[in-house]
Amino acid sequence: MKGLSGKAVLVTGGGGAIGAAICRRFAAEGARLLVADRVREAAERVAAQCKGTALVFDIADYAAAKAALTERAVDVLVNNAGWDRFQNFIDTQPEDWEQLIAINLRGPLNMHHIVLPQMLKRGRGRIVNISSDAARVGSSGEAVYSACKGGIISFSKTLAREVARKGTTVNVVCPGPTDTPILRGFLGEGEAGQKVYDALVRAIPMKRVGQPDDIPGVVAFLASDEAAFITGQVLSVSGGLTMAG
């Protein structure tokens, strides 16, 4: 991809399955990785793999995030960190919503607010937000998560308009069902979990769930010079499960 070599790329949730795959792809493009995760061991492991720098902080903590990023120039921000708990909305309690909102909505807002000013000052930047197809078409048991991820889509489109003339692009990638610990936790174990998994695969035109390595290619593209005239767009990576316009 053009324009990625030597760029400083910050990936939140970089120690997770999709985050680590994104980090490896940018490292292969010659980028300089800033691997952010609230779990030190995960951040340091992926940073070592990518010859990058581990940053340990909670994106939901504005002060901690700002302190960790002071004097660090960021060319590309990938807001990948996310978390979910599968539960029907009527069975949740207000306190359950808070953690979901903090990680999936407030955290990315914090990261934009901290990183974007330096991009605007330099007159160039790339932001890729990882949302979810749950935001586009809904997903049973993920009401609050879907609301947060839908908010990220709306926020990204609005922000893209605000900064379009200032050299910074903002785009969104929406993974469909992807083989991660979150999905495995939802499916459960044993025969019941396998039945749900098989039904999910049958619903996907490509007849498989996504893998973490299916996501990084489009993220790298949107962060590259190849996508310099693309902003405010939302792209699903779902094997054809969702085909929303």
Q: Is residue 108 helix, strand or coil?
A: helix
Nearest to 135 by CA among 175, 99, 91: 175
Q: Is residue 117 helix, strand or coil?
A: helix
C-alpha dist (Å) from residue 116 to 66, 99, 106, 217: 12, 24, 15, 23
Rounded Cα distance, 226 and 216, in Å: 15
State the angle between helix axes of 17-28 and 40-50 in degrees (0 to 180), rounded to the nearest 10: 20
Rounded Cα distance, 203 and 183, in Å: 16
What positions carry a catalytic annotation? 145
